[in-house]
Amino acid sequence: MLENAWRGLVRRSLWQLFDAMAQGDWEVQKRAVHNVIRYGSTSGTDMMCGVLFGLSGGTNI
């Protein structure tokens, strides 16, 4: 998954999350987060944790 992300190949739900964040609409963002988390048994949650870690500057969450 990390190798694919490095190449810009990520799930559509992740791109939709980034688009929702750019729009600033909280309801759209909540749906987008839910769609990311729904992926796989833990992969979606792992991706969401990675997004949060990256947004925090990659230091302490």
Q: What is the pLDDT of residue 40?
A: 85
pTM assigned to the model: 0.76
Q: What is the pLDDT of residue 45?
A: 93
Query: pLDDT tens string for the chain (61 positions)?
Result: 778 878 988 889 999 999 999 999 999 999 999 999 999 889 899 989 988 888 888 766 5
User: How much of the chain is in helix, strand and coil states, percent to nearest 5?
Assistant: 70, 0, 30
Nearest to 11 by CA among 35, 41, 34: 35
Q: What is the pLDDT of residue 37?
A: 95
